[in-house]
Amino acid sequence: MPLTAFALNCTLKRSAPQDDAALSSTDKLLDEVLAALGRHGVATAGRERITDHHVHAGVTSDEGNGDAWPMLRAQILAADIFVLGTPIWLGHPSSNAQRVLERLDAFLGETDDNDRMISLDRVALVAVVGNEDGAHHVAAELFQGLNDVGFTIPANGMTYWVGEAMHKTDYRELPHGSEQTNTATEAAAAHARTSPSFSADSLPTFVRENVPLPGPRR
């Protein structure tokens, strides 16, 4: 069975086909991460936007009354790799990203059949986009939360794109992305696939022998 990856987009935009205003740069970067994972033998288990679901505020796995989190939680736990994507707002992760971390907090009190934290042996990656500074700060916040609730963060477990300060170009407007972002995405995917959380015996030879390294991020 191949490993699988599920991506969650924390954009503030709802999906709206035929509406260009609803297009999401975070979607674009998440799709690139999933494609990079696919090149390392990881199957895509889907991508969702938090805004397309009624996810209630709270810190339990089911807040009742139509809460959509249990469905998303099941998708996260069914996958081997969880990719959390967020735009930067005022230098911080989006409010939806914070809500995801708050809902994942329930993992602290949940265990699997072996009495281990329920998210153990799963790997998390972070994808960040924005046209303002703060990508590393945002990733640090998300890494801390994801690690607290049991996910393994691999080396170079982040990819990001930040546009020129005070300009309006969005990542989704760049048809080929950017060279540095593409390199970071490939490194994140390779290191996630080769995480000690997964059996080395299951790795294809080309993955074991060709793990790219990102260039300087300045």
Task: Give the separation between CA 78 and CA 138, rounded to whole angstroms.
Answer: 26
Interval 155-164: pLDDT, tens: 999 999 998 7
Place of tokens 């995480």: 195
Predicted confidence at residue 199, as pLDDT, reads 59
Residue 35 sits at the vertex; the CA angle it makes with 207 and 12, to the nearest 5 degrees, is 135
Task: Give the separation between CA 73 and CA 119, rounded to whole angstroms.
Answer: 11
Query: Rounded to 5 degrees, what are φ and ψ at 44?
Result: -80, 130
Span 137-144, average pLDDT: 96
Measured in Å, how far apart are the chain's first and last C-alpha atoms?
Answer: 39
Question: Is residue 15 a contact partner of residue 53, using CB atoms and an 8 Å limit?
Answer: no
H or E element, residue 130: strand 123-130
Task: For residue 194, give the nearest of 33, 42, 85 by alpha carbon.
Answer: 42
Interval 53-69: pLDDT, tens: 999 999 999 999 999 99
Which residues are registered as beta bridge partners of 6?
A: 82
Predicted confidence at residue 202, as pLDDT, reads 47
* CATH number for domain 4-209, candidates 3.30.390.10, 3.40.50.620, 3.40.50.360, 1.10.10.10: 3.40.50.360
Predicted confidence at residue 22, as pLDDT, reads 77
Span 110-131, average pLDDT: 92
